[in-house]
Amino acid sequence: MTFAGRVWRLLVGIKDGLVLVFMLVFFALLFAVLTARPSPAQVRGGALVLKLDGMLVEEAQHVDPLRALLTGEAPLAEYQARDLVRALDAAATDSRIRAVVLDLDRFLGGGQVHVEAVGAALDRVRAAKKPVLAFATAYANDGLQLASHASEVWMDPLGGAVIAGPGGNQLYYKGLLDRLKVTAHIYRAGTYKSAVEPYFRDSMSDEARENYRSLYGALWSEWQAAVARARPKANIALAANDPAGWARASGGDLGQASLRAGLVDKLGSRAAFDARMVALVGADAWSDRLNGYASTELGPWLEQLPVSDTGAAIGVVTIAGEIVDGDAGPGTAGGTRIADLLDKALRDGNLKALVVRVDSPGGSVPASEEIRRAILRHKARKIPIAVSMANVAASGGYWVSTPADRIFAEPDTVTGSIGVFGVLPSFENAAAAIGVTADGERTTPLSGQPDFIGGFAPEMEQIVQGQVDRTYRDFLGHVAQARNMTPAAVDRIAQGRVWDGGTARQIGLVDQYGGLDDALTWAATRAGLAKSGWHAVYLGAPETTYDTILRRWLIEDGQAAGAVPRDVVGLVGDRQAAIGRRLQRDLSRLLGGAGMQAYCLECPASQSAAPPARGADPAGWLGMVAAILAKLG
Confidence class for position 609, pLDDT limits 50, 70, 90: very low
Pick from 353, 354, 365: nearest CA to 317: 354
Question: Would you call 120 exposed, middle or buried from its count of C-beta atoms within 10 A (0-12, 13-18, 19+)?
Answer: middle
Question: Which one is catalytic: 395, 401, 606, 608?
Answer: 395
Is 401 noted as a catalytic residue in this protein? no
Per-residue buried b or exposed e for 97-109, using 16+ beta carbons within 10 Å of the residue's own CB: bbbbbbbbbbbbb
| C-beta separation of 419 from 208 below 8 A | no
Return the sign of the alpha-carbon dihedral for residues 335, 336, 337, 338.
positive
Q: Which of 148, 193, 360, 368 is catalytic?
A: 193
pLDDT at 607 over 90: no
d(CA 333, CA 342): 13
- pLDDT over threshold 50, residue 228: yes
When mean pLDDT is compared across 63-77, 167-181, 437-451, the lowest value belongs to 63-77
Query: What residues does each domain of the chain span?
Result: 1-34, 40-163+233-303, 168-230+312-532+567-633
Instruction: Please give the average per-residue pLDDT across 614-621, as a whole number.
Output: 39
**Torsion sign, CA atoms 330, 64, 593, 633:** positive
SS percent in the chain: helix, strand, coil, step 5:
45, 20, 35
Mention every residue, 6+ apart, whose C-beta is less than 8 A from residue 335. Answer: 323, 324, 325, 326, 364, 366, 367, 368, 370, 371
Separation CA 548–CA 558 (nearest Å): 15
Q: b/e string for 11-37 if b means 16 or more Cβ within 10 A?
A: eeeeeeeeeeeeeeeeeeeeeeebeeb
Give, rounded to a whole angstrom, the gap between the first and last alpha carbons of the chain: 75
Contact, 546 vs 299, CB < 8 A?
yes
406-418 pLDDT, tens per residue? 999 999 999 999 9
Residue 498 β-bridge partners: 416
CA atoms within 13 A of residue 121's CA, in its CB half-sphere? 23
Q: What is the pLDDT of residues 102-137, one digit of tens each?
A: 999 999 889 999 999 999 999 999 999 999 999 999
- What is residue 85's DSSP assignment? H
In this predicted structure, the answer to whether residue 565 has a pLDDT above a threshold of 80 is: no
Q: Would you say residue 633 has pLDDT above 90?
A: no
Question: 448 CB contacts (<8 Å, ≥6 apart)?
Answer: 440, 442, 454
Q: Which amino acid is at 43?
A: V
pLDDT above 70: residue 360: yes
Q: CA 398, CA 38: separation in Å to the nearest integer? A: 37
Query: How far apart (Å, rounded) are the C-alpha atoms in residues 333 and 397?
Result: 10
Query: If you average pLDDT over residues 76-84, what whole number do you get?
Result: 91
Cβ proximity of 351 and 378 under 8 Å: yes
**168-230+312-532+567-633: same fold as 40-163+233-303?**
yes
User: Which CATH number does 168-230+312-532+567-633 carry?
Assistant: 3.90.226.10
- d(CA 315, CA 58) in angstroms, rounded, equals 16
CB 295 within 8 A of CB 30: no
Query: Residue 65 class from Cβ within 10 Å (0-12 exposed, 13-18 middle, 19+ buried)?
Result: middle
pLDDT tens figures, 531-540: 888 999 999 8
Strand partners, 500: 414
Tell me the per-residue pLDDT of 317-344, one tens digit each, with 9 for 90 and over. Answer: 999 999 999 999 899 999 999 999 999 9
C-alpha neighbours within 13 Å on the C-beta side of residue 624: 7
User: Which alpha helices (DSSP H) does 400-513 contain, by range?
Assistant: 428-433, 458-483, 487-493, 501-507
pLDDT of residue 572: 60
Instruction: Give tens-digit pLDDT for 15-37.
Output: 767 777 777 766 555 555 444 55
Q: Which fold has domain 40-163+233-303?
A: 2-enoyl-CoA Hydratase; Chain A, domain 1 (3.90.226)
Mean pLDDT of 435-445: 86
Residue 531 appears among annotated catalytic residues:
no
Among 182, 180, 142, CA closest to 161: 142
Are 281 and 270 contacting, i.e. CB atoms less than 8 angstroms apart? no
Instruction: Compute CA distances 612 → 39, 73, 174, 577, 625, whole Å.
Output: 30, 9, 26, 10, 19
CA distance 330 to 402: 22
